[in-house]
With several copies, the nearest count.
Chain A
Amino acid sequence: MSTNRVMIAGSGGQGIILMGKLLAYVAMEEGKEVTFLPSYGAEMRGGTANCSVIISDRPISCPVVHKADIVVVMNQPSFEKFESAVEPGGSLFLNSTLIKDPVTRTDIEIYKVDANKLAEDAGIGRSANIVMLGAIVRQTGIVKIENVTKALKKEFSGKKVVYLDANLLAFQAWKTG
């Protein structure tokens, strides 16, 4: 598979942008071509936020993801909006802590990740995004786990180093799909 199109959606405060950036950053470090495109404008008002990440072996034309191989939805409204964006045969990762509705599509792989719960268990409630990142990486192998770990160490350095351990835990929290 030469190109991966990932769409991540949730609410403003859920760290959607960080997930996407980390993914893109790690892929770049692995020598891939990457683009990252966040939604903009609307977030300001606490609406939904989303971003698209494309990872490829070759130059990427357009950073917009109209249909995604991997869709990650972190809350109910995003689920409603983006369930249909999964390419047939693609994967849908959903934050089952917050999304209660049943998935209607049958032509895709579904991964329910109790992200908020697992994050709290890991000791850092706000890291549901990192839990989810762990799930995606582990499940799809889109980038290497150890490289994400490296990136997390970089992200949570300096003043933020106090959050590192919990995030590393969160990253490993989800075990299987």
Chain B
Amino acid sequence: MARFLVKFLRDRCKACELCISVCPKQILEIETDLYNKKGYHPARVQPGKDDECIGCTSCATICPDSVISVFDTTKE
């Protein structure tokens, strides 16, 4: 299991791509086959790239819609 978990409140996402642009590992993407409640394609971690996340929280920090939370699975 990946150490860091990046969680999205998907229905709040507006597909602005800011998270994608700031991720140092470039592991985020827009999920083009899904529309969320608002009609946007939400962002997500690219499937299979969870491991690469370094937990820098940059994505969550820049997200204008408070979509993202980041967890450290190794801590309580």
Indicate yes or no for A touching B, C-beta below 8 A: yes
Whether, in the assembled complex, B64 has its beta carbon less than 8 Å from a beta carbon of chain A, the answer is no
Query: Which chain A positions have C-beta within 8 A of B24?
Result: none
Q: How far is the CA of A159 from the CA of B35 in the complex (A)?
A: 36
Minimum CB–CB distance for B15 against chain A, Å: 11
Query: Which chain B positions have C-beta within 8 A of A76?
Result: 35, 39
Whether, in the assembled complex, A77 has its beta carbon less than 8 Å from a beta carbon of chain B, the answer is yes
Q: How far is the CA of A77 from the CA of B39 in the complex (A)?
A: 8
Q: How far is the CA of A2 from the CA of B39 in the complex (A)?
A: 38
Query: Which chain A positions have C-beta within 8 A of B35?
Result: 76
Q: How far is the CA of A132 from the CA of B39 in the complex (A)?
A: 21
Q: How far is the CA of A87 from the CA of B47 in the complex (A)?
A: 47
Query: Which residues 32-66 in A have Cβ within 8 Å of B in the complex?
Result: none
Q: How far is the CA of A76 from the CA of B39 in the complex (A)?
A: 8
Q: Interface size bucket, A side?
A: under 10
- Count of residues in B whose CB is under 8 Å from the partner chain: 2
Minimum CB–CB distance for A170 against chain B, Å: 24
Q: How far is the CA of A75 from the CA of B39 in the complex (A)?
A: 10
Query: Which residues 16-52 in B have Cβ within 8 Å of A in the complex?
Result: 35, 39
- Please, what's the 1-or-0 string for A62-84, where 1 marks a CB less than 8 Å from any CB in chain B? 00000000000001110000000
Minimum CB–CB distance for B33 against chain A, Å: 12
Q: How far is the CA of A76 from the CA of B35 in the complex (A)?
A: 11
Query: Smallest CB-CB separation from A46: which chain B residue?
Result: B14
Q: How far is the CA of A75 from the CA of B38 in the complex (A)?
A: 13
Query: Smallest CB-CB separation from B38: which chain A residue?
Result: A77
Query: Which chain B positions have C-beta within 8 A of A77?
Result: 39
Q: How far is the CA of A66 from the CA of B23 in the complex (A)?
A: 48
Query: Smallest CB-CB separation from A11: which chain B residue?
Result: B39
Minimum CB–CB distance for A14 against chain B, Å: 13
Minimum CB–CB distance for A47 against chain B, Å: 10
Query: Which chain A positions have C-beta within 8 A of B39?
Result: 75-77
Query: Smallest CB-CB separation from A76: which chain B residue?
Result: B39
- Please, what's the 1-or-0 string for A16-46, where 1 marks a CB less than 8 Å from any CB in chain B? 0000000000000000000000000000000
Minimum CB–CB distance for B53 against chain A, Å: 30
Query: Smallest CB-CB separation from A48: which chain B residue?
Result: B39
Minimum CB–CB distance for B26 against chain A, Å: 26
Query: Which chain B positions have C-beta within 8 A of A75?
Result: 39
A-B contact pairs, 4 of them (CB 8 A): A75-B39, A76-B35, A76-B39, A77-B39
Closest 4 CB pairs of A and B: A77-B39, A76-B39, A76-B35, A75-B39
